[in-house]
Structure 1
Amino acid sequence: MSADGAAGAEDVPGGLRRVARVVLLDPQDRVLLMHGFEPEDPADRWWFTPGGGLEGDETREQAALRELAEETGITEVELGPVLWRRICSFPFDGRRWNQDEWYFLARTAQTATATSGLTELERRSVAGLRWWTSAELSAARETVYPTRLAELLRTLLDEGPPSTPVVLAPEIV
């Protein structure tokens, strides 16, 4: 759950920070996840998809591509449809983040990553990046957000993208 230094929920009309996330698949259908941790408690760790809050008047598609480039260094991307939407709320870095997240499908052949574009907060809370196979994700004992990502990815790979975005159950931590 990347808190990327943009406006927090208390700064956003309606109380929800608008977020674009990316389910990035490589040619082997591996998904790229970021390894995050609570800055004040590095033992509190999880995996999550790249993405973050919209800036200014950018669209969610623009935010998805910008965040992906900043957080992973990957710019050679074919952005696809919105797969899933969810509302989530969680504590991070001493405050509560209330978010309306849209998850975009994207594909790339560019598997080398770079984290040089991370914000100051991300540098204090991101341990690295990793490509995961569906089987590895299904077997993972670590926390992954959204919590049903392994099941959602398997369905995506088996059935293709949904015709309309699937609304996931809210996650309140």
Structure 2
Amino acid sequence: MVPGGEGAPELPPGEVRRVARVVLLDPDDRILLLHGYEPGDPSRTWWFTPGGGVEGDETLELAALRELAEETGLTGVELGPVVWRRLCSFPFDGRRWNQDESYYLARTRHTAVALGADLTELEKRSVAGLRWWTSAELSAARETVYPTRLAELLRTLLDDGPPSEPVVLSPEIVWGSG
């Protein structure tokens, strides 16, 4: 399945980065999110799932596990299926990022997490911390969370289990400057 489709907004011109993200749940069905901010304007903040770009000839699965270890220090996590796919485009750190994201479901018993020691230079300048969120906390949040509708998506995932095929989310295109 390809995100978008007929009538869907198209990504702006430029390279599309393949990204693997992790919907990491703990034994209490809380989701782990990172707290990010714009390096040039720390007042612009948001929450997002762990993950990042595929490097070299790495698979999406390996990228997801590597990014999770780098960002949270967690290793030995078994990935489940891809539950969501999303195309997105946004300004960040002075450039436009076009991404094709795959969201893997994973579970862990390890709830003591901290920002990983292997953050990239950009992550060191743009990630403030992380925390576990319940579905109810996400639903009540007044802060920006990506992907949009994460509270609803998580609730459906917890209620119905993983979908048989990844759910293709509406493309998210954020205009403006980074």
Q: Secondary structure at the match of 1:110?
A: coil
Identity fraction in percent: 82
**Quick one: which amino acid aligns to residue 42 of structure 1?**
P
User: What's 1:95 paired with?
Assistant: 95
User: What's 1:168 paired with?
Assistant: 169
Which residues of 2 match residues 113-128 of structure 1 at below 5 A? Answer: 113-115=113-115, 116-128=117-129
Gaps in structure 2 of 5+ consecutive residues = 1-13
Larger Rg: 2
Alpha-carbon separation, structure 1, partners of 2:38 and 2:100: 21
Alpha-carbon separation, structure 1, partners of 2:72 and 2:149: 23
Query: TM-score, with normalisation over the residues of structure 1?
Result: 0.91
Alpha-carbon separation, structure 2, partners of 1:121 and 1:15: 19
Alignment of 1:53 with 2:53, yes or no, is yes
How far off is 1:111 after superposition?
A: 1.2
Alignment of 1:85 with 2:85, yes or no, is yes
How far off is 1:169 after superposition?
A: 0.2
RMSD: 0.8
Gaps in structure 1 of 5+ consecutive residues = 1-13
Question: Stretches of 4+ moved more than 4 A in 1?
Answer: none
Q: Secondary structure at the match of 1:158?
A: helix
Higher normalized helix content (fraction of residues): 1
User: What's 1:132 paired with?
Assistant: 133
**Quick one: which amino acid aligns to residue 110 of structure 1?**
H
Aligned residue pair count:
160
Query: TM-score, with normalisation over the residues of structure 2?
Result: 0.88
User: What's 2:149 paired with?
Assistant: 148
